[in-house]
Chains A and B, each alone.
Chain A
Amino acid sequence: MKHETKPPMRLTAGLPAWTLRGVVLCAVVLIVIVQARQGVGVLPLTIIAVVGVLSVTAPGTPAPAFLIVATAVATLAVSEDPFEFAVLALIPLVHVVHIGCALAAVIPGTARVHAAALRPAAVRFGIVQAVVFGLAGVAALVPKTVTPAALEVTALLGGAALAVLATRMILNRPQ
C-alpha cells in the first residue's frame, strides 16, 4: 500500500499566544459575573477575581486549581438547586479555565498559536461537557431519597479506590 505524505504546512503568523489567555480571562470575568448574580459576597468574589487574574498571568501555577475550588465552594455556599442555570453555566466555564491554562502554560507569552492545534482540545471539550451534562441529567432523574448507609460507604470506598488507582497510574506510568 502506498504511504501518502501530507503536503508541508506553510508556517504563518497564526494568533498571538495571548489569545489563549484572553479566552481564560473571558471565562474568569463570566465566572465573576455569574457568581455576583448568584449573590456571592464581595470578599469571595474579590478572592476569585484575584486568583483569576493570577491564572491568566501565570497559568502554570496552582492559581487555576485555587480558582476552580473557590468557584465550586462559593457556588455550593449560595446555590440551593444544583440544576439552576447559573450552576450549569459555571461548569463549562471552569473547564475552559482548566484547559486554557493547561495549554497556555506550555508556551511562552510571545508564541503564536495556530487554530488547527486547538481543534482536538475543542472536540474533547465538547465530548466531556456532553458526558457531564448527561450525568447531570441522570442525577436530575434520580429520586431524592435517603441513600442506605451501606451504599454510601460502598460509594465512598469506590471513590477512594478510584483516587488511589489514579494516583498509582500517574506515578507508575512507564516513562
Chain B
Amino acid sequence: MNNRVLRWMRGQRDTGRWRNTDAMYRAVVVGVGLVVAGVLLHELVLVLFGAPLLISAMLAMTRPQPAEPVVHQPTLPRALEQSQLAEAVFDIDAGPGVELVALRAPHGKTRGAGPVHLLPGNVEQVRTTLGHGGWGEGVDLRLDRLFAGPDALRVYGPIVGTEGRRTILPPVKVLPAGPLPPRPSGLVGVHRSPRPGDSTELRDIPAFQPGDRLRRIDWRVSLRTSAATGGVMSPSALHVRERHADADASLVLAIDTRVDVGAHVGEWASAMIGNGVRAGGSLDTSVLAACSLAASYLRQGDRVGLVDLGRPQLSLAPGTGSRQLLKIRHQLVICARSAGWASKPVLRPQQAPAGSLVMVLSPFLDDAMVELTATVVRRGTRVLAMDLLPEHLIAAERDPWGEAVLRVLRAEHAVRLQTLREHGIPVLRWGDEASATLRVLARGRR
C-alpha cells in the first residue's frame, strides 16, 4: 500500500502523463461523502448537493483515455522586417478524449510569447501572426501547453515549449545621400576625385603633351589658340580636355552604445523591459539613423562600416552592397542587445581607413566621447558628430534637485559640443540637413 501511495504521489508530480486534478478528488471525495452522509442521516439535501459532483466525476471517468497529445511547432523565419509578419500555424494532435487545450501563443499585436489561451480540445490547427512590435531580438514564441479532459478533472501537462527567437531588423528610412570625401584608392563610385580620370566632369583644358590621347583634343579651344597666335596650327596650340576621375568613399558609422537616454531624466537609470532599448531614446535613434545612413550611402555604391564605441569587438569593417546593409542591420541589433555602460569608448585607427568619414552618433554625455572624437580628428580623419541627446529634456519630477541637475546637464552638454566645434568637428542633430556640411568636409584637405 505504501508503494502504491508513493507511486500515486510521484504520478501527481509527473507532468508528462495524464493525472487527476484537485477537482477530481473534490468531486469524488465530497460527492461520495455527501451522498453517503445523506443516506446515513436520511437527508435528501446532502444527496442532492453531492450528486452533481459524483455524476460529473463518473462522466469524466467513462471517457476514453486519450493518448499523448502533441503540438507541432512550425519552422519560421529567424529574421523579419518591422513591417513584415510571419504567419504561424500550429498543428495540435490531441486525440478524442481531450476537451480543453491551454496553449501559450501570441495573438493580435501582443509582443513576446503571449498569454495562455484556453481552446476547445477538437481544434486541430491554430493560426496566428508573429513579428509585432519594435525592432530588436527576443522570444516571440514558446508553446507552453496543457491538455485537459472533461471539466478539467484530468490533465496532461503543463509542458514548457521550446523558445522561438526572432530578430526584427531596424527599419530603413531612405535619405538623400550627401557627398563624401573620396577614397585615395579605387577609381569607381560616384564621388569626384581630385585626380584626372574618365568621368564626364571637366577638370581642366591643358596644353597637349606627349602621351595625351588624340581623341581628347579640344579642337575648338585649339583653333582659337592657333588663331590668336597667327593662324598656324602648331603642336603647341593643341589643347586637351581633362576630366575628373570617379572614386568611391568610405563612411564609418560610430555609435555610442554605452548610454541610452530618453527625454525623462528621471528614467535614465531604470532598466528597460523587452529588448532593452528605450523607444525614442538615444540608442533607438542611433540605430535608426545608422540604418538609414548606411542604406543611403550603400545604395550609391559607397563603402560603409560600423563601429560600436562601447564594444569594439562588435564592429564591422567597411563594405559595399546590399549584403553589407543586411550585415549592418543585424549587427546593430546585436550591438543594441549588448549595449551597456563602458567607461572608455574605443575607436582604433584601423577601424577608420584612410580617407574615410567617421560619423559619431552619440548623446555626448561624458567627456570621454569628446576626447575620443578629438583624437580621431587629430589622426587626420574627417569626423562629423551627430548629437542624439533628446532636444526637450524633462527633469525628474519627484527629485527636488531635478531642475538644477537638468541645468547642469545642459550646460555641460553645450560645453562639450562647443569643444567639438573648436576642434573643427561639425556637430549636427539627427534630422538636420547634412548636405552642406558634408560638401565642406568632402572639399577639405586631401
Contacts and interface: CB of A to CB of B under 8 A. Distances in A.
A108 B295 CA distance: 45
A62 B26 CA distance: 8
B61 interface: yes
A101 B126 contact: no
A120 B150 contact: yes
A9 B39 contact: no
A129 interface: yes
Contact of A98 (B53, B117, B148, B155): B53
Contacts of A45: none
A10 B127 CA distance: 5
A71 B26 contact: no
Contact of A65 (B4, B26, B117): B26
B372 interface: no
The size class of the interface chain A forms with chain B is 35 or more
B302 to A, nearest CB: 45
A57 B393 CA distance: 44
B32 A8 contact: no
A27 interface: no
Given A111-B116, A112-B107, A120-B150, A76 B43 contact: yes
Interface string B145-184: 0101011110100000000000000000000000000000
Nearest to A119: B120
B45 A79 contact: yes
B99 interface: yes
A156 B39 contact: yes
A124 interface: yes
Interface stretch (B14-22, B311-319, B334-342): B14-22
Interface in B95-150: 99-102, 105-108, 115-128, 146, 148, 150
A22 to B, nearest CB: 15
Contacts of A112: 107, 115-118
Contacts of B105: 11
Most chain B CB neighbours (cut-off 10 Å) among A68, A94, A120, A169: A68
A82 B43 contact: yes
B115 A111 contact: yes
Most chain B CB neighbours (cut-off 10 Å) among A110, A113, A135, A166: A166
Given A65-B29, A105-B23, A128-B59, A75 B49 contact: yes
Contact of B125 (A5, A62, A101, A135): A5
A150 interface: no
B68 to A, nearest CB: 11
A50 interface: no
A160 B125 contact: no
Interface residues of B, number: 73
A156 B118 contact: no
A173 B65 contact: yes
A124 B126 contact: no
Most chain B CB neighbours (cut-off 10 Å) among A71, A162, A169, A175: A175
B108 A159 contact: no
Interface in B56-106: 56-59, 61, 65, 89, 99-102, 105-106
Nearest to A147: B42
Contact of B102 (A64, A107, A174): A107
Contact of A11 (B117, B124, B150): B117
Interface string A11-44: 1111001000000000000000000000000000
A102 B46 contact: no
B23 A102 contact: yes
A103 B128 contact: no
Interface in B16-54: 17-30, 32-36, 39-40, 43-54
B56 A98 contact: yes
B8 interface: yes
B47 to A, nearest CB: 8
A68 B52 CA distance: 11
Given A91-B48, A114-B120, A169 B61 contact: yes
Nearest to B91: A8
Given A10-B127, A117-B120, A106 B46 contact: no
Contacts of A113: 117-118
A94 to B, nearest CB: 6
Contacts of A103: 100, 118, 151-152
B45 A72 contact: yes
B99 A175 contact: no
B227 interface: no
Given A114-B120, A175-B18, 12 more contacts: A5-B125, A6-B123, A11-B107, A71-B49, A99-B151, A105-B21, A111-B116, A117-B119, A159-B35, A166-B32, A170-B25, A175-B11
26 contacts: A14-B107, A17-B116, A60-B21, A62-B26, A72-B34, A72-B46, A82-B43, A91-B49, A94-B52, A95-B53, A95-B56, A98-B26, A98-B53, A98-B56, A111-B118, A113-B118, A117-B119, A124-B59, A128-B52, A132-B48, A136-B44, A162-B32, A163-B32, A166-B54, A167-B28, A171-B4
Q: Give me the 3 closest cross-chain CB pairs, A-B, nearest first.
A: A102-B23, A8-B125, A111-B116
